[in-house]
Amino acid sequence: MSVLEVRNATKRFPGVVALDDASIRVDRNEVVGLIGENGAGKSTLLKVLTGIYRLDEGEVRVNDGVIELTSPRDAFDHGVAMVFQEQSVIGTLSVAENIFLGREGEFIKGGLIDRGRMNEAARVELAKVHLDIDPAIRTEELSFAQRQMVEIAKALSLDSRIEGDIVILLDEPTSVLEKREVDLLFEIIRDLKDRAAIVFISHRLDEVLAISDRIYVLRNGAVVHETPATDATVTELHGHMVGRSLHHEYYREQRQSGAGERCVLEVKGLGRTGAFEDVSFALREGEVLGIAGVVGSGREALARCLAGLLPPERGEILIDGQPARLDSPARAVGHGVGFVPSERKAEGIVTGMSVCENVTLASLADFVRNGFIRRGDERAATQGWIERLSIRTPSGRTPIASLSGGNQQKVVLAKWRVAGSRIVILDHPTRGIDVGAKEDVYELVRDMTGEGLCVLLLADTLEEVIGLSSRIIVMRDGRVSATFDSPPGGKPNQVDLVRAMV
Amino acid sequence: MAVSFSRRIRSLAPVLVLLALCLVIASTNSNFLSVSNLIRLLSAAAIPLVLVMGATFVILMGSIDLSVEGVVALAAVAASMLVANDFTSLDLGFVALPAAMLLGGLLGLANGLLHVRLAIPSFMTTLGIGFACVGVATAILGGFTVRISDRTFRELTLGRLFDVPYSVWVAGLCVLVAWIIQERTRIGRWVYAIGTDEHTARQVGVPVERTRILVFALAGVFYGLGGAMSASQLGQGHALLSQGRLFTTITAVVVGGTALSGGVGSVLNSVVGVLVVIVLANGMVLMGIEPFVQQGVQGLLIILAVSLALDRSRLAVVK
Amino acid sequence: METFREYLPPVVLVLLVLAVGAIEPGFLAVDNLLTVTADTMTLFLMASGATFVIMMGGIDLSIQGVASMTSCIVAALLPELGFAAVPVALFAGAASGLLCGIVSTRLRIPSFIASLAISGIVTTVAYWASDTRSVLIAAGDRDSFLAWAVGDTGPLQNEILVGLVALLLLGLLLNGTPFGRYVRAIGSQERAVVASGIPVERVKILAFTLSGLMAGLAGVVMAGRLGSGSPTLANEFLLPAIACIIVGGTAITGGVGSIFRTFIGALTIAVVRIGMTFVGVSVFAQQIVFGLILVLAVAITMDRSKVTTVK
């Protein structure tokens, strides 16, 4: 009997199909592994299961009844409990208060909370996860692993309080745990199988293989493979995760320029506690350096560090051979760094302003005479870039908010071109933009390197990083785990990259 | 657990500041520790204590309530017009007390409803309501002052039990009630949940909107009581009798160690905060410093306390 | 929506003027309209600088305190320093704004609390400068040193000229210079401005300084009009000042607004006040009406897409 089932789920966002007719089933007393690359649809699926997203097509069945989940609380009340990767315990409340937060009703006597009874009840739930702590202490005093156990205990508290079985969704539960803690978690998961069905989501394939009974592989929003864990191997799962390759033409490989002589950016032993450690590389003019890695590999932090948004704590940055301190975005921009952030709407564009105002934002000083902005010059420069980058906009005066995502992204690129940036950091430049616009962006990357700029690329997919880069460094757990040359015609294999990533 | 250790030090800081302040003042002025001065201190702290009990809950949610002065003034004027006075012919005695609290509660409810239902930042709605209250109080009286002739109503604050004015006992009772609300009721716990992480609180099913509205109403009740006590203490009601109360209240809350970002702090912290502010004021008087300097000192205290207590890692953009 | 926001306030103003004129035809006389405008200019001056702060998504609650302080300073110093008292007062206003900006940005304290704290400090300065009383300005001093603010030029009161000059200069600053552009950008999407390498803190500090300067100017003009300075002179002006910014169509969430809108907003507030008095609305009810207008205007102009949780 299935405890949780998703049938033919489809979820679309503008320009993207996040879930494409995906079906999964979780049976009683079963651990189901869910794997896939970044963007394969795992997180969308989880958000559907916790009532944050509603499906466009398809249905969710819990304990064999079709259910419309409206919020995480609603999902919880139906027995679907999520243990979030970014934890959702409230540090300033006690362990017991967290376990019963929002459900204190049963402990109220005469309008007041009976703390004794609440702590007693919490102790019962904590025992289920073998956590021997005082339920009255604040959760912020606990270690990360202990807080995770509290969340699991909270899910288990449903056990005696609802009819039907419960499902616990574990989203990357091992990503910040020590080996010893992982073993403990696995012990508890095996123990819990009697009481609950479990969905285990992780990018660590060996762990998924070790703990799961059955495994689903997601790619581009669809379930592409389903296998009992006993029959699967890591290599095979890698193969299913990455899928077929696109044609070389797509990434304009023939226009990939060789590295120039001049080294523009050099990084030596860069480190920041909790983010990345001992990162070194060199970037030459005309080069695209891809940085591959899973979420939490430290590559996002590295990119933000070079953009001046997250100062490094150790190591050295050289620009044109000269030591450079990039401790603010203003400094970084002054050194010729341009940052195209992944959160385009929050950090890339100023939503309330026009295309023109966005294009000149980083170089406004160049358009000033006697203290006043020369709008004519500004408009002329913008018009030039609108044509060069074929930005589809009625005019420079159009509010940028009315442009499509792809064209907004081109405006961000234009901003750095106008500012004369020589090192352009692209953080997921094609995220959330449609296929045609993606190709335009690839075209623009080739244009930039052709003119001697250098690009640091954090790509959306492995295909993209391999297709676009002339060299790739792979990061794992904050360190560089491998480096690949990626010349046209001699591109590295996706499976090799994945192996270095996880 | 280095973080936890430094946090513990930080949570003790307000008490240490209070002790240090007392030591310094006591060493320069022998009158400071005299029984009569200590009672004077407690008496001066009574009304601020009542007011911060309300404001603390609001700030613990990460919101702010700037309507303190207005609500206190209007409640005081209302209370003084309900007891025997020279402005109206009413003589309802102690009915004035629950009436002032009810009025305060309703004004707080208005704060909460406007803030939550129209989704307007609380500093804006409370600023508006606060100003409107002062305006209404001014307009009702046409700039006059109501004089209270009800002796028993005045006894409410001036009368003494064990040599300590009733107002202090009332304030103590308020602290107890606020502490029970904070520790032992759902609303109290939800305030912390909302202030720490509103998103998560909402996800687990905490009724965030309802809690917010109720907390503003609760704060209003405390202000209403504070207003009635002010009227009783001064023996009069007028629109400007609460001048400076907002400042003292917010200074006390932040100096006590309750963070403006929400989630961190407690009503007990605010008790310490009030004592710091009152002792400082008293010390300055004893040292012969002009009373008008107090506002400036309080302004500096706010800046100092907030900048020491603010958990900056939680703030990406400060507006 | 944007066009609606832009043209609604002036249209409302004209309609209100006509409505009040219909009730009381004398209101529409040119003389009377000029007097109303002149009376409104101190409010406008106070709000004009704060408009920059609100456009950045911040708030300045210290403006009434600053105006009171400069009124005391100018009144206290006129007899000794003569005209030089005016720049000294303006400098004090700008300095308190500067301090507010530094406290808010460098110490990362939310602007509403930073400016509240600063208002306590400037109030103390006001009491100190005035020796805790109201300081009278001798008629002679006023005529020789403050005539630029309170005299007449031809048919126009000088308040109007000062207001118009401020409108023009600040309008140019906001619309024509990089500073103004950055102010608008910060209010619109601060993180993107930071990521573009703009020295956001410096821009913010400058905006607060400007707010202090203009509030200071408002205080000087007020002192001239009333013939005295006092530590509570500008009390009760904070809310109307914020109201005229918001009623003019500048959003509390930042990014949208202009000095001209604040000008329109100030006149609107003035006309509403006069209109209510003509119709016989009690002062009692007027305060509630103003509170409601402010709250409604905030609710209408706010950009809700920008705030996820409203605190």
pLDDT digits (tens, 9 = 90+) for A251-270: 777 777 777 778 899 999 99
* Contact status, residue A471 vs residue A272, Cβ threshold 8 Å: no
Nearest to A35 by CA among A301, A276, A194, A232: A232
DSSP codes of every residue in C231-259 = TTTTTT-HHHHHHHHHHTT--TTSS---H
**CB atoms A350 and C194 under 8 Å:** no
- Mean pLDDT score, C153-166: 90
Q: How far apart are CA A405 and CA A411, in angstroms?
A: 10
Identify the pLDDT of residue B225. 95
How, if at all, do strands A372-373 and A322-323 pair?
Answer: unpaired
**Secondary structure class of A165 (helix, strand, coil):** coil
For the record, the structure tokens of A275 come out as 């983010």
What value does the mean pLDDT of chain C take? Answer: 88
CA-based nearest distance A12→chain B, Å: 23
Between the alpha carbon of residue B296 and those of residues A230, A307, B307, C129, the distances in Å are 73, 41, 17, 13
Between CA C17 and CA C215 the distance in angstroms is: 27
Using CA coordinates, name the residue in chain C closest to B319.
C58
User: What's the farthest any 2 CA atoms get from each other in chain B?
Assistant: 65
- Rounded Cα distance between C28 and C36, Å, is 10
Say whether A102 and B201 touch across the interface (CB within 8 A).
yes
Identify the weakest region by mean pLDDT among A133-142, A179-188, A302-311. A179-188
Average of per-residue pLDDT across A183-206: 85
Strand partners, B317: none
> Which of the residues A326, A333, A353 would you substitute to probe the C interface, choosing the one with the greatest number of C C-beta atoms within 10 Å?
A353
pLDDT at B315: 47
Q: Return the half-sphere exposure (C-beta side, CA atoms, 13 A cut-off) of residue B285.
A: 13
The model's pLDDT over C227-257, given as tens digits with 9 standing for 90+, comes to 999 998 988 888 889 888 988 888 888 888 8
Asked if A362 lies within 8 A of C189 by C-beta distance, the reply is no
Q: Chain A residue with minimal CA distance to C192?
A: A347
**What backbone torsions phi and psi does residue B149 show, to the nearest 5 degrees?**
-110, 0
> How confident is residue C69, by pLDDT bands cut at 50, 70 and 90?
very high
The pLDDT tens digits for A418-433 are 999 999 999 988 887 7
A61: Cβ contacts below 8 Å, ≥ 6 apart:
A2, A4, A5, A6, A7, A67
- The reply to whether residue A309 touches residue C255, judged by beta carbons under 8 angstroms, is no
Q: Which residues fall within 8 angstroms of residue B289, CB to CB, at 6 or more apart? A: none
Instruction: Give the C-alpha separation, C53 to C137, whole Å.
Output: 32
The pLDDT value recorded for residue B6 is 61
pLDDT at site B228: 93
Do residue C311 and residue B62 have CB atoms under 8 angstroms apart?
A: yes
- pTM over cut 0.90: no
CB nearest to A111's CB, from B185, B200, B205 = B185
- At residue C55, does pLDDT exceed 90? yes
Token pair 């200069």 in the structure block, residue? C169
Residues of chain C contacting B297 with CB distance shorter than 8 Å: 124
Residue A291, classed as helix, strand or coil, is: strand
Q: Name which of B10-14, C198-202, C217-221 the model is least confident about.
A: B10-14
Lowest mean pLDDT among C150-154, C219-223, C275-279, C302-306: C302-306
Partner chains of A (3+ C-beta pairs under 8 Å): B, C
Comparing CB atoms, the residue among C124, C190, C288 nearest residue B317 is: C190
* Alpha-carbon torsion (A324, A326, A329, A330), positive or negative: negative
Q: C196, A357: Cβ pair inside 8 Å? A: no
Query: Could you tell me how many CB contacts below 8 A there are between chain A and chain C?
Result: 75
Q: How confident is the model at residue C306 (pLDDT cuts 50, 70, 90)?
A: low
* Cα(A82)–Cα(A88) distance, integer angstroms: 10
Nearest-CA distance B201 → chain C (Å): 12
pLDDT for A81 equals 87
Q: Which region among A464-468, A490-494, C38-42 has the lowest average model confidence (pLDDT)?
A: A490-494
Amino acid at A160: S
Q: Which of A365-369, B161-165, C138-142, C292-296 has the lowest mean pLDDT?
A: C292-296
Distance of CA A287 to the CA centre of its chain: 25
Mean pLDDT on A149-177: 82
Domain at C2-305, CATH class: mainly alpha
The three-state secondary structure class of A367 is helix
Q: What is the pLDDT of residue B314?
A: 45
Task: Name which residue leads in pLDDT, C127 or B199.
Answer: C127
How far lies C84's CA from each of B45, C93, C212, in Å? 44, 15, 19
CA C235 – CA C14 distance, rounded (Å):
29
Query: Is A101 an interface residue toward B (CB < 8 Å)?
Result: yes
Q: Judge contact between A204 and A174, C-beta under 8 A.
A: yes
pLDDT number for residue A38: 67
ipTM given for this complex: 0.85
In chain A, CATH 3.40.50.300 covers: 2-242, 253-336+422-501
Per-residue model confidence (pLDDT) at position B100:
93
List the single residue in C116, C124, C252 with the smallest CB-CB distance to B296. Answer: C124
pLDDT digits (tens, 9 = 90+) for A230-254: 888 887 887 787 765 555 567 777 7
* Contact between C255 and A349 using a beta-carbon 8 Å cutoff: no
Chain C contact set for B114 (CB, 8 A): 295
What is the reported pLDDT for C12? Answer: 86
Q: Poorest-confidence range of B108-122, C175-189, C280-294?
A: C280-294
**Average pLDDT in the C142-151 region?**
85
> Taking a C-beta distance cutoff of 8 angstroms, is the pair C224, C146 a contact?
yes
B partners (3+ CB pairs within 8 A) are A, C
* Averaged pLDDT for residues A61-81: 85
Alpha helices per DSSP H over chain B: 2-28, 35-60, 68-82, 96-117, 122-141, 151-158, 166-184, 186-203, 208-234, 245-255, 267-286, 293-309
Strand-pair category, A372-373 with A368-369: antiparallel
Looking from the CA of B256 toward its CB, the CA atoms found within 13 Å total: 29
Q: Which is more confidently placed, C306 or C37?
A: C37
Q: Are C185 and A353 inside 8 Å of each other by CB?
A: yes
Q: Is A52 exposed, middle or buried (0-12, 13-18, 19+ CB in 10 A)?
A: middle
CATH of A2-242, one of 3.40.50.970, 1.10.510.10, 3.40.50.300, 3.40.640.10: 3.40.50.300
Query: Which residues in chain B show pLDDT less than 50?
Result: 1-3, 312-315
Q: Tell me what pLDDT residue B226 has.
A: 95
Fold of the domain built from segment(s) A253-336+422-501: Rossmann fold (3.40.50)
pLDDT of C44 strictly over 80 = yes
For helices C158-176 and C30-55, give the axis angle rounded to 10 degrees: 30
Q: Is A104 on the interface with B (CB under 8 A)?
A: yes
Of A278, A295, A90, the residue nearest A176 (C-alpha) = A295
A365 contacts C195? CB cut-off 8 A: no
Which residue is it, tokens 């008496």? Answer: B43
- How far does Cα B22 stand from its chain's mean position? 22
The Cα of B203 is separated from the nearest Cα of chain A by a number of Å equal to 5
What is the predicted pLDDT for the residue at A31? 92
Q: Cα dist. A222→A8, A20, A27, A41 in Å?
A: 9, 5, 20, 8
Give the model's pLDDT for residue B235.
86
Other C-beta atoms closer than 10 Å to the C-beta of A112 total 15
> d(Cα C183, Cα A329) in Å, to the nearest integer?
18
